């Protein structure tokens, strides 16, 4: 992971998409009359932006892995990466937390 933070294109993509998904997702998924105050905006930008950032970190993990040692963790990282890069990671996490499966586990 140390290489991720030193002159890495994935880091720049993660930072750019942190802001892109953070801001664009509000205009795409939230109706104008449902948008809140400044604190709400900061929360939404951080929440959605973090999802995109985590997605790029997961894809970096996949690209740095050795192809001959693929395991379940790579498929999980691929799923997280796909959901994060496309902007659906926060929605997927919140849907999972609200699902009946989680309520039954508790």
pLDDT value of residue 97: 82
Whether 4 and 60 have beta carbons less than 8 Å apart is answered as yes
pLDDT value of residue 1: 57
pLDDT value of residue 2: 63
pLDDT value of residue 35: 81
pLDDT value of residue 48: 85
pLDDT value of residue 81: 92
pLDDT value of residue 34: 79
Per DSSP, the residues of 1-61 read -GGGGSS-HHHHHHHHHHHHHHHHHHHHHS-GGG---HHHHHHHHHHHHHHHHHHHHHHHH
For the chain, the distance separating the N- and C-terminal CA atoms, rounded to the nearest angstrom, is 33
Q: Which residues of the chain have pLDDT under 50?
A: none
pLDDT value of residue 87: 81
């Amino acid at each position: 992971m140390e290489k991720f933070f030193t002159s890495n294109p994935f880091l720049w993509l993660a930072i750019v998409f942190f802001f892109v998904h953070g801001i664009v997702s509000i205009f795409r998924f939230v109706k104008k009359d449902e948008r809140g105050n400044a604190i709400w905006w900061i929360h939404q930008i951080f929440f959605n932006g973090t999802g995109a950032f985590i997605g790029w970190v997961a894809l970096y993990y996949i690209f740095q892995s050795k192809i001959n040692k693929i395991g379940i963790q790579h498929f999980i990282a691929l799923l997280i990466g796909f959901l994060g890069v496309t902007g659906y990671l926060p929605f997927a996490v919140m849907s999972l937390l609200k699902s009946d499966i989680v309520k039954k586990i508790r």
